[in-house]
Amino acid sequence: MKVKLRYPHVAASKPILAELILKTGLPINILEAKLTPMGGEMVIDVATQGPALKSALEYLRESGLEVTELRSLVEVDRGLCISCGACISPCPSRAISFDGSLDIEIDAKRCIGCGICVRACPRRAIRLI
Amino acid sequence: MNEERGKEELRSYEEINEKIRRGDAVVMTAEEFIELVEQSGLEKAAKEVDIVTTGTFGAMCSSGAFLNFGHSEPPIKMVRCWLNDVPVYKGLAAVDAYLGATAMSETKPFEYGGGHVIEDLVSGKEVELRAESYGTDCYPRRSLETTITLEDLNQAYLYNPRNAYQRYNAATNSSDRILYTYMGTLLPNYGNVTFSGSGQLSPLYKDLNLETIGFGTRIFLGGGVGYVVGEGTQHKPQDGFATIAVKGDLRGMSAEYLKGAVFHNYGTTLYVGIGIPIPIINMRVAATAALKDEDIPVNILDYSVPSRDRPIIKRSNYAELKSGKVVIGDREVPSSPLSSLKVARKIAETLKRWIESGEFFIQRPIELLPNYREFKPLKIKKREVTVGDIMMRLKDLVLARAEDDIKKVAKMIVEKNIDHVPIVNEEGVLIGIVTTWDLTRALAEDKKTLKEIMTRHVITAKESERVDEVAKRMAEHRISGLPVVDDVMRVKGLITSDDISRKLVGRRGL
């Protein structure tokens, strides 16, 4: 599950993620981080689900972070999309493909939110969330 | 075959149209026809099927629309004109104009262009019209601003000088940076392959010898009815790169099949939907209509080479490209289309339905398209400044050998007042380079010979290259000098950013 963390001013100087990893042993991958002592944002991938995920997110919230579960990092405007496929092969994490009816499908589990598809789309139909 | 081309041996246009009128013409999309040929053989399929429908929906830059705005009161001879800030060509009569797909908005370039205006007009949206003039006795008005819709115009027709390439080369990128091209985003080091065209649904490939598609052929154009109005520009049928010019009334077309588009850092364009009915008039036409993706060759070109003759990296075909991966060298590289196969199929299906329901009749071409055309390059006749014109020649250079002592080389550098020393072997072949900066560092770190400090991967130039290309290369690699070499890498000279800026002062053309 990909999760967006918003760090308020006070939390930015605490090693919250490191403590979570030490406490739970969960593998956590940091996909994006914009942190200053004044606070900031981070996108992480927590490789678990069910109660373990719930308690990990609970821990982050208790530590003072604002936690948003990300279902996807990008969004396709189906009204603009023409199913051309220009976004598929430029995707470095192979997250984009055609589905059975030749519509564009983005695998949220693979997407790293790099934004290459946003520039590759001739219809400007993709945006980062 | 030339006299035979277009011969109606299996059925005539009149016979087919009579069957359409009666509602019993046998129509199949190109993909259905391929299946039938596989099941029952070509001969039987050709006897059974009257028309094969095709489709393509891709970016077609040579597209645009002729518009007539009507006369304002008092009237204006529009000299400059914009639609939603996109400049419109006004070298025509007072209120006639040509809106080109790749013209870009002056306020939102690389985001909105002529293709988008066409899409907006066909969608029924209001578009801002702005025009300027110098005023004449017969056309006194000097400027106007208003809004128009498609309905307000006297005439609005799509006229595309080049559409529907029979097939198109695919693209990849051998360089170490991302390229943004009209073939889409190309990742470094052969990171992906992009391709265009609909392969086994491609209208012009399915009539490979152009026996039925010619001047006057009635077609599906942008969701409405249009006509082939001759060969397209850069028509090169002898190599499978035939093109057509098409025309059709924008009123009656649909924004579903005309979509404005942007290629990042390249510009704007228009996706055009075209479907052509191919009457199976003889066995040769049947055979080409049955060609499959694997029968249609596509060369994958290296778009990092800044030349009109880009090297072929691999000979592939539409079956391999559509599979989503292509083998280049020993690697599997992801491939994806730029044209929409989903919409191409829908076009072939729609055209089939039109014919089956008796709404659309086929038209025998008034004239066939040429099946040979010379493909001419543009020659640059004015002499351009080349590296050879301004480079430092061997007599003014310091060349060194890898074993040379650093101090000796440092002394020569001071005497000749230069910054770059190419390192060569006994045949004069370039094997490395050192700069004054490398030498300074070497002396500080107490190194003894050039071998220990030289850069082995050297960026070079050729004598015949244009100076602006070489300047671009220097900027890209953030270096200030390039050895000039011949075809076997023997050093012929050296060109530096200093040479370029000093020796070109006062010259024109750069």
Question: Residue B449's domain is classified under what CATH number?
Answer: 3.10.580.10
Chain B contact for A110 (CB, 8 A cutoff): no
**Contact (CB<8Å) A122/B261:** yes
Closest residue of chain A to B178, computed from CA coordinates: A90
Domain that holds residue B341: 2-60+164-368
Contacts of residue B264 in chain A, CB cutoff 8 Å?
119-120
Looking at the domain assignment, is residue B342 inside a domain? yes
Listed residue (A89, A99, A14) closest to A59, CA to CA: A14
Residues of chain A with pLDDT under 50: none
Instruction: Read off the tokens for B194.
Output: 């992009």
pLDDT value, residue B412 = 84
Same domain, B458 and B354: no
The answer to whether residue B138 is catalytic is: yes
Same domain, B363 and B488: no
Alpha-carbon span B153 to B253, nearest angstrom: 15
Looking at the domain assignment, is residue B430 inside a domain? yes
Domain boundaries, chain A: 2-70, 73-129
CB contact at 8 A, B147 and B237: no
pLDDT value, residue B505 = 60
Q: Specify the residue for token string 């007539």.
A: B68
Same domain, B100 and B206: no
pLDDT value, residue B203 = 98
Same domain, B335 and B203: yes
CB contact at 8 A, A14 and A35: no
For residue B28, what is the enclosing H or E element?
A: strand B27-29
Looking at the domain assignment, is residue B441 inside a domain? yes
Looking at the domain assignment, is residue B81 inside a domain? yes
**Contact (CB<8Å) A102/B191:** no
Domain stop point among B134, B153, B172: B153
Instruction: Read off the tokens for B1.
Output: 């075959």
Alpha-carbon span B87 to B100, nearest angstrom: 9
Match domain A73-129 to its CATH number in 3.30.300.30, 3.90.1200.10, 3.30.70.20, 1.10.150.310: 3.30.70.20
Please tell me the class of the A2-70 domain: alpha beta
Same domain, B231 and B88: no
Same domain, B427 and B324: no
Chain B contact for A114 (CB, 8 A cutoff): no
pLDDT value, residue B1 = 52
Listed residue (B356, B400, B396, B480) closest to B26, CA to CA: B356
**Contact (CB<8Å) B338/A122:** yes
Same domain, B172 and B289: yes
Contacts of residue A122 in chain B, CB cutoff 8 Å?
59, 184, 261-263, 269, 271, 338
Alpha-carbon span B491 to B429, nearest angstrom: 6
Alpha-carbon span B401 to B431, nearest angstrom: 9
Domain stop point among B341, B368, B395: B368
Chain B contact for A89 (CB, 8 A cutoff): yes
Strand order, beta sheet including A2-7: A28-36, A39-46, A2-7, A66-70
pTM of the model: 0.81
Alpha-carbon span B59 to B259, nearest angstrom: 9
Looking at the domain assignment, is residue B382 inside a domain? no
Number of structural domains chain B divides into: 3
Q: Would you give per-residue pLDDT tens digits along chain B (510 residues)?
A: 556 899 999 999 999 999 999 999 999 999 999 999 999 999 999 999 999 999 999 999 999 999 999 999 999 999 999 999 999 999 999 999 999 999 999 999 999 999 999 999 999 999 999 999 999 999 999 999 999 999 999 999 999 999 999 999 999 999 999 999 999 999 999 999 999 999 999 999 999 999 999 999 999 999 999 999 999 999 999 999 999 999 999 999 999 999 999 999 999 999 999 999 999 999 999 999 999 999 999 999 999 998 899 999 999 999 999 999 999 999 999 999 999 999 999 999 999 999 999 999 999 999 999 999 999 999 988 888 899 999 999 888 889 998 888 888 888 888 888 889 999 999 989 999 998 888 888 888 888 888 888 898 899 999 999 898 899 889 888 898 999 999 999 999 999 988 888 777 655 444
